[in-house]
A and B are shown apart, each in its own frame.
Chain A
Amino acid sequence: MSEIMRADNVSMIFGGLTAVDNISLTMEDNEILSLIGPNGAGKTTFFNMLTGVYQPTFGTITFYGENITKLKPYERVAKGISRTFQNIRLFSSMTTLENLLVAHPKCNSENIGRVLLGGKKLKKARQEIVEECEEILEIVGLKDKEDELATNLSYGKQRLLEIGRALATNPKLVLLDEPGAGMNSMEKEELSTLIRYITQKMDKKVLLIEHDMRFVMGISDRILVLDHGELIANGKPEEIQQNQMVIEAYLGKGMTDEE
Protein backbone atom coordinates (compact mmCIF):
# COMPACT_ATOMS: atom_id res chain seq x y z
CA MET A 1 0.00 0.00 0.00
CA SER A 2 1.42 3.32 -1.00
CA GLU A 3 0.71 6.67 0.52
CA ILE A 4 -1.34 9.19 -1.40
CA MET A 5 -1.65 12.16 0.84
CA ARG A 6 -0.46 13.01 4.29
CA ALA A 7 -0.93 15.89 6.67
CA ASP A 8 1.70 16.53 9.30
CA ASN A 9 0.84 18.48 12.44
CA VAL A 10 -1.56 20.76 10.65
CA SER A 11 -3.15 23.60 12.61
CA MET A 12 -5.38 26.46 11.59
CA ILE A 13 -5.83 29.46 13.82
CA PHE A 14 -8.33 32.23 12.98
CA GLY A 15 -7.52 35.24 15.12
CA GLY A 16 -7.49 33.64 18.56
CA LEU A 17 -9.65 30.67 17.63
CA THR A 18 -7.99 27.35 16.94
CA ALA A 19 -10.23 25.67 14.40
CA VAL A 20 -7.95 22.75 13.65
CA ASP A 21 -5.42 21.67 16.21
CA ASN A 22 -2.32 19.73 15.28
CA ILE A 23 -3.79 17.02 13.08
CA SER A 24 -1.71 14.40 11.35
CA LEU A 25 -3.06 11.78 9.03
CA THR A 26 -2.13 9.62 6.11
CA MET A 27 -4.30 8.49 3.28
CA GLU A 28 -3.36 5.14 1.77
CA ASP A 29 -4.00 3.83 -1.67
CA ASN A 30 -7.19 1.92 -2.38
CA GLU A 31 -9.23 3.18 0.50
CA ILE A 32 -12.24 5.41 0.81
CA LEU A 33 -11.42 7.67 3.69
CA SER A 34 -14.10 9.58 5.58
CA LEU A 35 -13.90 12.50 7.91
CA ILE A 36 -16.72 12.83 10.41
CA GLY A 37 -17.46 14.86 13.48
CA PRO A 38 -20.15 16.99 15.03
CA ASN A 39 -20.97 20.50 13.79
CA GLY A 40 -18.14 22.95 14.28
CA ALA A 41 -15.60 20.18 14.72
CA GLY A 42 -13.32 21.77 12.12
CA LYS A 43 -14.05 19.32 9.30
CA THR A 44 -14.65 21.90 6.63
CA THR A 45 -11.68 23.97 7.75
CA PHE A 46 -9.45 20.94 7.51
CA PHE A 47 -10.95 20.13 4.15
CA ASN A 48 -10.27 23.66 2.94
CA MET A 49 -6.63 23.29 3.89
CA LEU A 50 -6.40 20.13 1.85
CA THR A 51 -7.90 21.87 -1.17
CA GLY A 52 -5.86 25.04 -0.72
CA VAL A 53 -8.60 27.53 0.11
CA TYR A 54 -6.85 28.14 3.44
CA GLN A 55 -3.15 27.96 4.09
CA PRO A 56 -2.53 26.13 7.36
CA THR A 57 -1.03 28.23 10.17
CA PHE A 58 1.35 25.39 10.99
CA GLY A 59 2.15 22.05 9.46
CA THR A 60 2.63 20.59 6.00
CA ILE A 61 0.50 18.74 3.50
CA THR A 62 2.07 16.26 1.11
CA PHE A 63 0.51 14.73 -2.00
CA TYR A 64 2.25 11.75 -3.62
CA GLY A 65 5.41 12.76 -1.81
CA GLU A 66 5.28 16.36 -2.94
CA ASN A 67 4.87 19.24 -0.49
CA ILE A 68 1.77 21.13 -1.59
CA THR A 69 1.20 23.21 1.56
CA LYS A 70 1.70 26.53 -0.16
CA LEU A 71 -0.11 25.71 -3.39
CA LYS A 72 -3.30 27.57 -4.34
CA PRO A 73 -6.47 25.61 -5.12
CA TYR A 74 -6.05 25.83 -8.90
CA GLU A 75 -2.48 24.60 -8.61
CA ARG A 76 -3.63 21.63 -6.56
CA VAL A 77 -6.15 20.82 -9.28
CA ALA A 78 -3.26 20.55 -11.70
CA LYS A 79 -1.59 18.15 -9.26
CA GLY A 80 -4.71 16.01 -9.31
CA ILE A 81 -6.85 17.10 -6.39
CA SER A 82 -10.40 18.14 -7.07
CA ARG A 83 -13.35 18.81 -4.82
CA THR A 84 -17.05 19.44 -4.35
CA PHE A 85 -18.65 21.99 -2.05
CA GLN A 86 -20.91 21.64 0.95
CA ASN A 87 -23.06 24.52 -0.32
CA ILE A 88 -23.41 23.72 -3.97
CA ARG A 89 -21.32 26.02 -6.12
CA LEU A 90 -22.25 25.17 -9.67
CA PHE A 91 -22.12 27.64 -12.52
CA SER A 92 -25.85 28.10 -12.51
CA SER A 93 -26.24 29.94 -15.81
CA MET A 94 -24.38 27.19 -17.65
CA THR A 95 -25.79 23.89 -18.82
CA THR A 96 -24.98 20.60 -17.21
CA LEU A 97 -22.59 19.71 -19.98
CA GLU A 98 -20.92 23.11 -19.91
CA ASN A 99 -20.25 22.75 -16.21
CA LEU A 100 -18.20 19.70 -17.05
CA LEU A 101 -16.60 21.11 -20.17
CA VAL A 102 -15.23 24.13 -18.41
CA ALA A 103 -13.70 21.91 -15.74
CA HIS A 104 -11.90 19.81 -18.34
CA PRO A 105 -8.22 20.78 -18.29
CA LYS A 106 -7.94 20.66 -22.05
CA CYS A 107 -10.92 22.94 -22.40
CA ASN A 108 -10.18 25.68 -19.92
CA SER A 109 -6.56 25.88 -20.96
CA GLU A 110 -7.32 26.46 -24.62
CA ASN A 111 -4.80 28.75 -26.24
CA ILE A 112 -6.22 32.12 -27.31
CA GLY A 113 -4.32 32.22 -30.56
CA ARG A 114 -5.60 28.80 -31.54
CA VAL A 115 -9.11 29.74 -30.56
CA LEU A 116 -9.07 32.86 -32.70
CA LEU A 117 -7.65 31.05 -35.71
CA GLY A 118 -10.11 28.18 -35.45
CA GLY A 119 -9.58 25.26 -37.77
CA LYS A 120 -10.20 21.54 -38.05
CA LYS A 121 -7.67 20.45 -35.48
CA LEU A 122 -9.35 22.54 -32.84
CA LYS A 123 -12.68 21.11 -33.84
CA LYS A 124 -11.41 17.61 -33.45
CA ALA A 125 -9.80 18.34 -30.07
CA ARG A 126 -13.09 19.79 -28.88
CA GLN A 127 -15.01 16.82 -30.09
CA GLU A 128 -12.84 14.61 -27.92
CA ILE A 129 -13.39 16.84 -24.89
CA VAL A 130 -17.14 16.78 -25.40
CA GLU A 131 -17.11 13.01 -25.71
CA GLU A 132 -15.09 12.60 -22.53
CA CYS A 133 -17.42 14.89 -20.63
CA GLU A 134 -20.47 13.11 -21.91
CA GLU A 135 -18.98 9.87 -20.71
CA ILE A 136 -18.67 11.32 -17.22
CA LEU A 137 -22.25 12.52 -17.42
CA GLU A 138 -23.25 9.01 -18.25
CA ILE A 139 -21.42 7.79 -15.15
CA VAL A 140 -23.07 10.28 -12.79
CA GLY A 141 -26.40 9.63 -14.47
CA LEU A 142 -27.06 13.03 -15.95
CA LYS A 143 -26.64 12.28 -19.61
CA ASP A 144 -30.30 12.94 -20.33
CA LYS A 145 -30.06 16.34 -18.64
CA GLU A 146 -26.99 17.57 -20.44
CA ASP A 147 -28.65 20.58 -22.05
CA GLU A 148 -30.50 21.74 -18.95
CA LEU A 149 -29.27 24.74 -17.08
CA ALA A 150 -27.57 23.64 -13.90
CA THR A 151 -29.86 25.81 -11.85
CA ASN A 152 -32.92 23.90 -13.12
CA LEU A 153 -31.71 20.53 -11.81
CA SER A 154 -33.09 19.07 -8.61
CA TYR A 155 -30.98 19.38 -5.50
CA GLY A 156 -29.79 15.80 -5.57
CA LYS A 157 -28.89 16.03 -9.24
CA GLN A 158 -26.93 19.22 -8.58
CA ARG A 159 -24.85 17.30 -6.05
CA LEU A 160 -24.18 14.63 -8.65
CA LEU A 161 -23.25 17.29 -11.16
CA GLU A 162 -20.72 18.70 -8.72
CA ILE A 163 -19.14 15.27 -8.49
CA GLY A 164 -19.17 15.05 -12.25
CA ARG A 165 -17.51 18.42 -12.52
CA ALA A 166 -14.83 17.34 -10.05
CA LEU A 167 -14.23 14.24 -12.14
CA ALA A 168 -13.94 16.25 -15.33
CA THR A 169 -10.75 17.86 -14.03
CA ASN A 170 -9.18 14.42 -14.39
CA PRO A 171 -8.13 14.14 -10.75
CA LYS A 172 -6.24 11.47 -8.87
CA LEU A 173 -8.02 12.31 -5.64
CA VAL A 174 -11.57 13.58 -5.24
CA LEU A 175 -12.55 15.37 -2.05
CA LEU A 176 -16.29 15.29 -1.44
CA ASP A 177 -17.74 17.75 1.07
CA GLU A 178 -20.98 16.24 2.40
CA PRO A 179 -22.05 14.76 -0.94
CA GLY A 180 -25.17 13.19 0.58
CA ALA A 181 -26.56 16.27 2.27
CA GLY A 182 -30.15 16.89 1.30
CA MET A 183 -30.52 13.61 -0.57
CA ASN A 184 -33.25 11.09 0.12
CA SER A 185 -32.31 7.51 0.98
CA MET A 186 -32.71 6.26 -2.56
CA GLU A 187 -30.45 8.96 -3.91
CA LYS A 188 -27.95 8.16 -1.19
CA GLU A 189 -27.95 4.56 -2.30
CA GLU A 190 -27.13 5.67 -5.83
CA LEU A 191 -24.45 7.94 -4.45
CA SER A 192 -22.77 5.04 -2.67
CA THR A 193 -22.76 3.08 -5.88
CA LEU A 194 -21.30 6.04 -7.73
CA ILE A 195 -18.52 6.55 -5.18
CA ARG A 196 -17.61 2.87 -5.35
CA TYR A 197 -17.62 3.07 -9.15
CA ILE A 198 -15.30 6.05 -9.03
CA THR A 199 -12.80 4.30 -6.82
CA GLN A 200 -12.97 0.86 -8.34
CA LYS A 201 -13.62 1.40 -12.04
CA MET A 202 -12.09 4.82 -12.55
CA ASP A 203 -9.20 4.31 -10.20
CA LYS A 204 -9.67 7.59 -8.32
CA LYS A 205 -9.15 8.02 -4.62
CA VAL A 206 -11.97 9.51 -2.56
CA LEU A 207 -11.95 11.40 0.69
CA LEU A 208 -15.28 12.55 2.02
CA ILE A 209 -16.78 14.53 4.80
CA GLU A 210 -20.15 13.29 5.90
CA HIS A 211 -22.74 13.82 8.55
CA ASP A 212 -24.87 10.78 7.90
CA MET A 213 -23.35 7.99 10.02
CA ARG A 214 -25.16 5.18 8.33
CA PHE A 215 -24.00 6.34 4.92
CA VAL A 216 -20.42 6.75 6.11
CA MET A 217 -20.29 3.39 7.84
CA GLY A 218 -21.56 1.70 4.73
CA ILE A 219 -19.06 3.15 2.31
CA SER A 220 -15.84 3.97 4.12
CA ASP A 221 -12.81 1.78 4.44
CA ARG A 222 -11.46 3.97 7.21
CA ILE A 223 -12.94 6.81 9.26
CA LEU A 224 -11.37 9.76 11.01
CA VAL A 225 -13.29 11.55 13.73
CA LEU A 226 -12.73 15.22 14.51
CA ASP A 227 -14.03 17.05 17.54
CA HIS A 228 -13.15 20.58 18.65
CA GLY A 229 -10.47 20.70 16.01
CA GLU A 230 -8.76 17.58 17.31
CA LEU A 231 -8.51 14.10 15.87
CA ILE A 232 -10.15 11.84 18.42
CA ALA A 233 -10.39 8.58 16.56
CA ASN A 234 -9.01 6.82 13.51
CA GLY A 235 -10.00 3.35 12.40
CA LYS A 236 -12.26 0.96 10.52
CA PRO A 237 -16.00 1.65 10.65
CA GLU A 238 -16.63 -1.14 13.17
CA GLU A 239 -13.94 0.20 15.47
CA ILE A 240 -15.33 3.72 15.28
CA GLN A 241 -18.81 2.45 16.12
CA GLN A 242 -17.45 1.00 19.32
CA ASN A 243 -15.22 3.96 20.21
CA GLN A 244 -16.37 5.51 23.49
CA MET A 245 -14.95 8.96 22.72
CA VAL A 246 -16.80 9.13 19.47
CA ILE A 247 -20.08 8.17 21.03
CA GLU A 248 -19.60 10.81 23.69
CA ALA A 249 -18.65 13.46 21.19
CA TYR A 250 -21.86 12.82 19.28
CA LEU A 251 -24.31 11.99 22.02
CA GLY A 252 -22.82 14.49 24.41
CA LYS A 253 -23.62 17.19 21.91
CA GLY A 254 -27.06 15.79 21.46
CA MET A 255 -26.39 14.75 17.92
CA THR A 256 -28.13 11.89 16.27
CA ASP A 257 -26.78 10.06 13.29
CA GLU A 258 -29.37 11.64 11.04
CA GLU A 259 -29.05 15.27 10.23
Chain B
Amino acid sequence: MFVQQLINGITVGGIYALIALGYTMVYGILKIVNFAHGDVFMIGGFMGLILAQTTNLPIWIAYPLAMLITALIGVLIERICYRPIRLHGADALAILISALGVSIFLENFAQLVWGTETHAYVQKIQRTAYNIAGITLSNIQIGVIVLCIILMIVLYLVVNKTKMGMAMRATSQSITSAQLMGINTEKVIALTFGVGSALACVAGILVGTYYDAVYPLIGYSYGLKAFAAAILGGIGSVPGAMLGGFLLGIVETLGAGYISTGYRDAFAFGILILVLLFRPSGLLGKKHVDKV
Protein backbone atom coordinates (compact mmCIF):
# COMPACT_ATOMS: atom_id res chain seq x y z
CA MET B 1 0.00 0.00 0.00
CA PHE B 2 2.85 2.39 0.80
CA VAL B 3 4.31 2.31 -2.70
CA GLN B 4 0.85 2.63 -4.21
CA GLN B 5 0.08 5.67 -2.07
CA LEU B 6 3.47 7.13 -2.95
CA ILE B 7 2.68 6.85 -6.64
CA ASN B 8 -0.72 8.41 -6.08
CA GLY B 9 0.97 11.25 -4.25
CA ILE B 10 3.51 11.81 -7.00
CA THR B 11 0.78 12.01 -9.64
CA VAL B 12 -1.22 14.60 -7.73
CA GLY B 13 2.00 16.35 -6.78
CA GLY B 14 3.05 16.68 -10.41
CA ILE B 15 -0.15 18.54 -11.16
CA TYR B 16 0.26 20.80 -8.12
CA ALA B 17 3.79 21.50 -9.30
CA LEU B 18 2.66 22.52 -12.79
CA ILE B 19 0.16 24.99 -11.36
CA ALA B 20 2.63 26.13 -8.71
CA LEU B 21 5.04 27.16 -11.47
CA GLY B 22 2.60 29.85 -12.54
CA TYR B 23 2.39 31.26 -9.02
CA THR B 24 6.10 31.14 -8.50
CA MET B 25 7.06 32.76 -11.81
CA VAL B 26 4.66 35.64 -11.35
CA TYR B 27 5.74 36.12 -7.78
CA GLY B 28 9.38 35.94 -8.75
CA ILE B 29 8.98 38.79 -11.17
CA LEU B 30 6.26 41.01 -9.75
CA LYS B 31 6.24 39.99 -6.08
CA ILE B 32 2.49 39.58 -6.25
CA VAL B 33 0.37 36.53 -5.54
CA ASN B 34 -1.82 35.89 -8.53
CA PHE B 35 -4.82 34.48 -6.71
CA ALA B 36 -6.69 34.03 -9.97
CA HIS B 37 -4.21 31.44 -11.18
CA GLY B 38 -6.27 28.49 -9.94
CA ASP B 39 -9.15 29.72 -12.04
CA VAL B 40 -6.93 30.14 -15.06
CA PHE B 41 -6.17 26.44 -14.57
CA MET B 42 -9.92 25.74 -14.60
CA ILE B 43 -10.40 27.83 -17.76
CA GLY B 44 -7.52 25.90 -19.33
CA GLY B 45 -9.24 22.61 -18.57
CA PHE B 46 -12.46 23.84 -20.16
CA MET B 47 -10.61 25.19 -23.21
CA GLY B 48 -9.04 21.80 -23.80
CA LEU B 49 -12.41 20.09 -23.42
CA ILE B 50 -14.26 22.45 -25.73
CA LEU B 51 -11.66 22.50 -28.46
CA ALA B 52 -11.25 18.75 -28.48
CA GLN B 53 -14.96 18.10 -28.29
CA THR B 54 -16.59 20.64 -30.58
CA THR B 55 -14.01 21.07 -33.29
CA ASN B 56 -13.05 17.45 -33.79
CA LEU B 57 -9.46 18.57 -34.07
CA PRO B 58 -6.91 15.92 -33.16
CA ILE B 59 -5.61 16.52 -29.67
CA TRP B 60 -2.11 17.41 -30.80
CA ILE B 61 -3.64 20.48 -32.43
CA ALA B 62 -6.52 21.09 -30.05
CA TYR B 63 -4.51 21.02 -26.82
CA PRO B 64 -1.70 23.35 -27.94
CA LEU B 65 -4.42 25.67 -29.22
CA ALA B 66 -6.08 25.55 -25.83
CA MET B 67 -2.73 26.39 -24.24
CA LEU B 68 -2.36 29.35 -26.56
CA ILE B 69 -5.82 30.68 -25.74
CA THR B 70 -5.30 30.22 -22.02
CA ALA B 71 -1.95 31.95 -22.27
CA LEU B 72 -3.68 34.88 -23.97
CA ILE B 73 -6.28 35.00 -21.23
CA GLY B 74 -3.48 35.07 -18.67
CA VAL B 75 -1.78 37.94 -20.47
CA LEU B 76 -5.08 39.81 -20.73
CA ILE B 77 -5.73 39.42 -17.02
CA GLU B 78 -2.37 41.01 -16.30
CA ARG B 79 -2.91 43.77 -18.83
CA ILE B 80 -6.42 44.72 -17.72
CA CYS B 81 -6.53 43.92 -14.04
CA TYR B 82 -3.00 44.18 -12.65
CA ARG B 83 -0.97 46.50 -14.81
CA PRO B 84 -2.97 49.70 -14.20
CA ILE B 85 -2.72 49.12 -10.45
CA ARG B 86 0.94 48.23 -10.67
CA LEU B 87 1.78 51.36 -12.62
CA HIS B 88 -0.12 53.45 -10.09
CA GLY B 89 2.41 52.21 -7.60
CA ALA B 90 -0.40 51.11 -5.32
CA ASP B 91 -0.10 48.78 -2.36
CA ALA B 92 0.52 45.09 -3.14
CA LEU B 93 -2.75 44.45 -1.33
CA ALA B 94 -4.62 46.33 -4.04
CA ILE B 95 -3.36 43.88 -6.64
CA LEU B 96 -4.23 41.00 -4.35
CA ILE B 97 -7.81 42.21 -4.05
CA SER B 98 -7.97 42.73 -7.79
CA ALA B 99 -6.75 39.14 -8.22
CA LEU B 100 -9.48 37.94 -5.89
CA GLY B 101 -11.93 39.90 -8.01
CA VAL B 102 -10.63 38.18 -11.15
CA SER B 103 -11.01 34.84 -9.40
CA ILE B 104 -14.64 35.51 -8.44
CA PHE B 105 -15.32 36.81 -11.92
CA LEU B 106 -13.85 33.77 -13.70
CA GLU B 107 -15.56 31.23 -11.46
CA ASN B 108 -18.96 32.76 -11.95
CA PHE B 109 -18.41 33.44 -15.60
CA ALA B 110 -17.60 29.74 -16.08
CA GLN B 111 -20.74 28.77 -14.18
CA LEU B 112 -22.81 31.00 -16.39
CA VAL B 113 -21.33 29.71 -19.62
CA TRP B 114 -20.76 26.04 -18.90
CA GLY B 115 -23.26 25.47 -16.13
CA THR B 116 -22.45 24.30 -12.66
CA GLU B 117 -22.29 20.62 -13.45
CA THR B 118 -19.26 18.39 -13.71
CA HIS B 119 -18.34 17.67 -17.32
CA ALA B 120 -16.91 14.37 -18.45
CA TYR B 121 -13.68 14.84 -20.34
CA VAL B 122 -12.93 13.73 -23.89
CA GLN B 123 -11.16 10.43 -23.76
CA LYS B 124 -8.96 10.24 -26.81
CA ILE B 125 -6.45 8.00 -25.13
CA GLN B 126 -7.44 4.44 -24.25
CA ARG B 127 -6.89 3.88 -20.56
CA THR B 128 -5.07 0.70 -19.56
CA ALA B 129 -4.05 -0.28 -16.08
CA TYR B 130 -0.93 -2.34 -15.42
CA ASN B 131 -0.51 -4.43 -12.34
CA ILE B 132 3.09 -4.87 -11.29
CA ALA B 133 3.75 -6.71 -8.04
CA GLY B 134 0.46 -5.66 -6.51
CA ILE B 135 0.85 -2.06 -7.57
CA THR B 136 -1.61 -0.69 -10.08
CA LEU B 137 -0.48 1.95 -12.50
CA SER B 138 -2.30 3.25 -15.56
CA ASN B 139 -0.76 4.51 -18.77
CA ILE B 140 -2.38 7.91 -18.16
CA GLN B 141 -0.87 8.11 -14.71
CA ILE B 142 2.57 7.42 -16.15
CA GLY B 143 1.92 9.97 -18.87
CA VAL B 144 0.93 12.62 -16.30
CA ILE B 145 4.07 12.12 -14.25
CA VAL B 146 6.39 12.00 -17.25
CA LEU B 147 4.84 15.04 -18.91
CA CYS B 148 5.00 17.07 -15.70
CA ILE B 149 8.67 16.28 -15.26
CA ILE B 150 9.53 17.03 -18.91
CA LEU B 151 7.70 20.37 -18.82
CA MET B 152 9.41 21.39 -15.63
CA ILE B 153 12.83 20.52 -16.98
CA VAL B 154 12.11 22.47 -20.16
CA LEU B 155 11.00 25.47 -18.14
CA TYR B 156 14.04 25.22 -15.94
CA LEU B 157 16.27 25.23 -19.02
CA VAL B 158 14.40 28.12 -20.59
CA VAL B 159 14.75 30.22 -17.46
CA ASN B 160 18.39 29.38 -16.91
CA LYS B 161 19.87 28.91 -20.36
CA THR B 162 18.09 31.18 -22.81
CA LYS B 163 18.30 34.88 -23.42
CA MET B 164 14.62 35.33 -22.59
CA GLY B 165 15.20 33.42 -19.38
CA MET B 166 18.05 35.72 -18.54
CA ALA B 167 15.79 38.73 -19.11
CA MET B 168 13.25 37.12 -16.80
CA ARG B 169 15.80 36.59 -14.09
CA ALA B 170 17.08 40.12 -14.46
CA THR B 171 13.55 41.48 -14.21
CA SER B 172 12.96 39.45 -11.08
CA GLN B 173 16.04 41.02 -9.47
CA SER B 174 14.86 44.54 -10.07
CA ILE B 175 12.44 45.87 -12.64
CA THR B 176 14.05 49.30 -12.76
CA SER B 177 17.57 48.00 -13.23
CA ALA B 178 16.39 45.59 -15.88
CA GLN B 179 14.79 48.49 -17.72
CA LEU B 180 18.04 50.40 -17.52
CA MET B 181 19.78 47.43 -19.08
CA GLY B 182 17.46 47.78 -22.05
CA ILE B 183 15.17 44.89 -21.20
CA ASN B 184 11.57 45.35 -22.24
CA THR B 185 10.20 44.40 -18.84
CA GLU B 186 6.55 44.71 -19.82
CA LYS B 187 7.19 42.10 -22.49
CA VAL B 188 8.90 39.87 -19.94
CA ILE B 189 5.98 40.24 -17.56
CA ALA B 190 3.46 39.43 -20.29
CA LEU B 191 5.53 36.41 -21.28
CA THR B 192 5.67 35.23 -17.68
CA PHE B 193 1.91 35.37 -17.37
CA GLY B 194 1.57 33.66 -20.74
CA VAL B 195 3.90 30.78 -19.90
CA GLY B 196 2.44 30.34 -16.44
CA SER B 197 -1.09 30.26 -17.83
CA ALA B 198 -0.14 27.82 -20.58
CA LEU B 199 1.33 25.48 -17.96
CA ALA B 200 -1.85 25.84 -15.91
CA CYS B 201 -3.77 24.87 -19.03
CA VAL B 202 -1.65 21.73 -19.38
CA ALA B 203 -2.41 20.94 -15.76
CA GLY B 204 -6.12 21.49 -16.46
CA ILE B 205 -6.05 19.14 -19.42
CA LEU B 206 -4.09 16.55 -17.44
CA VAL B 207 -6.56 16.69 -14.56
CA GLY B 208 -9.37 16.41 -17.07
CA THR B 209 -7.82 13.43 -18.79
CA TYR B 210 -6.66 11.64 -15.66
CA TYR B 211 -9.73 12.13 -13.48
CA ASP B 212 -12.09 12.53 -16.40
CA ALA B 213 -13.83 15.58 -15.00
CA VAL B 214 -13.82 19.36 -15.08
CA TYR B 215 -16.16 21.85 -13.39
CA PRO B 216 -16.16 25.59 -12.68
CA LEU B 217 -15.09 25.37 -9.05
CA ILE B 218 -12.22 22.95 -9.67
CA GLY B 219 -9.68 25.77 -9.56
CA TYR B 220 -10.29 26.56 -5.92
CA SER B 221 -8.74 23.59 -4.17
CA TYR B 222 -6.06 22.97 -6.79
CA GLY B 223 -5.16 26.64 -6.79
CA LEU B 224 -4.88 26.76 -3.04
CA LYS B 225 -2.74 23.64 -2.84
CA ALA B 226 -0.52 24.75 -5.68
CA PHE B 227 -0.05 28.10 -4.01
CA ALA B 228 0.91 26.29 -0.83
CA ALA B 229 3.31 24.14 -2.87
CA ALA B 230 4.94 27.21 -4.36
CA ILE B 231 5.48 28.71 -0.91
CA LEU B 232 6.64 25.40 0.51
CA GLY B 233 9.33 25.07 -2.13
CA GLY B 234 10.32 28.70 -1.86
CA ILE B 235 8.25 31.12 -3.86
CA GLY B 236 10.11 32.62 -6.78
CA SER B 237 12.13 29.46 -7.31
CA VAL B 238 11.31 27.17 -10.25
CA PRO B 239 12.93 24.02 -8.81
CA GLY B 240 11.28 24.98 -5.51
CA ALA B 241 7.83 24.83 -7.08
CA MET B 242 8.56 21.36 -8.43
CA LEU B 243 9.87 20.13 -5.11
CA GLY B 244 7.03 21.77 -3.21
CA GLY B 245 4.40 20.30 -5.52
CA PHE B 246 5.67 16.74 -5.28
CA LEU B 247 6.25 17.01 -1.56
CA LEU B 248 2.80 18.39 -0.89
CA GLY B 249 1.18 15.69 -3.01
CA ILE B 250 3.09 12.94 -1.21
CA VAL B 251 2.51 14.35 2.27
CA GLU B 252 -1.21 14.77 1.83
CA THR B 253 -1.61 11.33 0.24
CA LEU B 254 0.37 9.56 2.93
CA GLY B 255 -1.27 11.58 5.70
CA ALA B 256 -4.70 10.75 4.35
CA GLY B 257 -3.62 7.16 3.70
CA TYR B 258 -2.23 6.40 7.13
CA ILE B 259 -3.86 8.81 9.53
CA SER B 260 -7.21 10.21 8.45
CA THR B 261 -8.80 11.03 5.13
CA GLY B 262 -10.96 13.69 6.77
CA TYR B 263 -7.89 15.71 7.65
CA ARG B 264 -6.34 15.33 4.19
CA ASP B 265 -5.97 19.06 3.56
CA ALA B 266 -4.81 19.68 7.10
CA PHE B 267 -1.66 17.66 6.44
CA ALA B 268 -0.83 19.76 3.43
CA PHE B 269 -1.24 23.01 5.32
CA GLY B 270 0.26 21.65 8.52
CA ILE B 271 3.54 20.77 6.84
CA LEU B 272 3.50 24.09 5.07
CA ILE B 273 3.22 25.98 8.33
CA LEU B 274 5.92 23.88 9.95
CA VAL B 275 8.33 24.41 7.08
CA LEU B 276 7.71 28.14 7.07
CA LEU B 277 8.32 28.41 10.78
CA PHE B 278 11.71 26.80 10.53
CA ARG B 279 12.64 28.02 7.06
CA PRO B 280 10.62 31.16 6.47
CA SER B 281 11.77 31.45 2.87
CA GLY B 282 10.67 27.93 1.93
CA LEU B 283 12.80 24.91 1.15
CA LEU B 284 14.70 26.29 -1.84
CA GLY B 285 13.94 29.98 -1.49
CA LYS B 286 16.64 32.59 -1.07
CA LYS B 287 16.99 34.11 2.32
CA HIS B 288 15.80 37.68 2.30
CA VAL B 289 17.97 40.24 4.02
CA ASP B 290 16.66 43.70 4.66
CA LYS B 291 18.96 46.46 3.51
CA VAL B 292 19.34 49.41 5.80
Contacts and interface: CB of A to CB of B under 8 A. Distances in A.
Contacts of A44: 292
A84 to B, nearest CB: 11
A44 B292 CA distance: 8
Interface in A46-97: 48, 53, 85-86
Interface in B116-162: none
Contacts of B292: 44, 48, 53, 85-86
B159 to A, nearest CB: 24
Contacts of A48: 292
A213 B292 CA distance: 23
A190 to B, nearest CB: 26
Interface string B281-292: 000000000001
A241 B292 CA distance: 30
Q: How large is the interface on B (under 10, 10 to 19, 20 to 34, 35 or more residues)?
A: under 10
A85 B292 CA distance: 7
Interface string B251-292: 000000000000000000000000000000000000000001
B277 to A, nearest CB: 20
Nearest to A54: B292
Interface residues of A, number: 5
Interface in B223-250: none
- By secondary structure, the A interface counts as loop
A21 to B, nearest CB: 20
B278 to A, nearest CB: 20
A88 B257 CA distance: 55
A44 B290 CA distance: 14
A40 to B, nearest CB: 14
Nearest to B289: A14
A217 B148 CA distance: 65
Contacts of A53: 292
Interface in B9-66: none
Nearest to B291: A87
B281 to A, nearest CB: 16
B76 to A, nearest CB: 33
Nearest to A14: B289
Contacts of A85: 292
Nearest to A45: B292
A217 B292 CA distance: 26
Nearest to A73: B292
B19 to A, nearest CB: 34
B66 to A, nearest CB: 46
A44 B291 CA distance: 10
B146 to A, nearest CB: 39
Interface in A141-188: none
Contacts of A86: 292
A255 B25 CA distance: 41
A160 to B, nearest CB: 20
A52 B292 CA distance: 11
A85 B291 CA distance: 11
A239 B56 CA distance: 88
A48 B292 CA distance: 8
A86 B292 CA distance: 8
A53 B291 CA distance: 10
A243 B50 CA distance: 80
A151 to B, nearest CB: 13
Interface in A84-122: 85-86
B142 to A, nearest CB: 43
B22 to A, nearest CB: 32
B104 to A, nearest CB: 30
B176 to A, nearest CB: 15
B196 to A, nearest CB: 32
A162 to B, nearest CB: 13
A48 B289 CA distance: 14
A86 B291 CA distance: 11
A198 to B, nearest CB: 22
A181 to B, nearest CB: 15
Interface of A: 44, 48, 53, 85-86
5 contacts: A44-B292, A48-B292, A53-B292, A85-B292, A86-B292
**Which 5 A-B pairs give the minimum distances between C-beta atoms?**
A53-B292, A48-B292, A85-B292, A44-B292, A86-B292
